[in-house]
Amino acid sequence: MLHLRSSVSIGVRNEKVWSNSVVKYCGQMRSRTEYTKVAIFDSKGRLFGKLSLLDLGAALAILMVVVGIFVYPGAGGSVAQVGNTQEIEVDVMARGLTVLNPEDFLAKLAETDSTKIIVRNQPYSDPIAVKKVIPLPRSVAVPQPDGSVKSFPDPRPELGYTADLLITLGGRAEKSSNGPV
């Protein structure tokens, strides 16, 4: 079937033009002047009547993803530390760790050689050396009648199951303007 379009067009599919002025098309005799040319895009949005524009768009999107992943992986390079690394130590304060027996936990942590850091339930690094563990006292600030403030041990019984620690970690890292990496 021929489509009437006013856009840019190409020749008719399946049309046989003979040397005379009458063409036999779909079993009917018609004059050559009654036929129009088929448009580049048909009424269903197909290119030249064969290739859908949606299929073409999906193929182009997939091609762009493949090129983006394999050809241009980014300027960041590897995450591995291959540059100028040096030995560093970092103090980490852990407050309010709830454990059944804080003294045993502190003793086991002090004996530990290394640990792994987990941030938001994701492993963040290779094992890092534990250099030193210092328990911090739990205290409460109490205002005095003369306007001064004194620190006293916190009397709450639930604090018997919590621990505050200052942990010194050590390892090799790059120093950047934002800190060690």
* pLDDT mean over 8-37: 48
DSSP classification of residue 177: T
Per-residue pLDDT tens over the stretch 116-166: 888 788 887 778 889 999 988 888 999 999 999 999 988 888 888 888 899
- The single residue listed with the structure tokens 């999107």 is 61
84 vs 106: which has the higher pLDDT: 106
C-alpha to C-alpha distance for 170 and 86, rounded to whole angstroms: 11
**Cβ 118 vs Cβ 124: under 8 Å:** yes
Alpha helix ranges (H) inside 67-143: 102-111
Pairing of strands 38-39, 28-31: unpaired
pLDDT-derived band at 10 (thresholds 50, 70, 90) equals very low
Whole-number Cα distances in Å, 102 to 63, 71, 106, 152: 57, 53, 6, 20
Contact between 170 and 142 (Cβ < 8 Å): no
Which tokens hold the place of 142? 């109490």
pLDDT digits (tens, 9 = 90+) for 80-100: 445 678 888 989 998 888 888
Specify burial of residue 106 (Cβ count, 10 A radius: 0-12, 13-18, 19+): middle
The model carries a pTM of 0.49
Helix (H, G, I), strand (E, B) or coil at 130: strand
Question: Amino acid identity, residue 111?
Answer: E
Of residues 16 and 119, which shows the higher confidence score?
A: 119
Quick one: pLDDT at residue 161? 87
- The CA distance from 92 to 165, in Å, is 8
Position 4 scores a pLDDT of 43
Contact 132, 92 (CB under 8 A): no
What is the pLDDT of the chain when averaged over all its residues?
Answer: 76
Three-class DSSP category at 10: strand
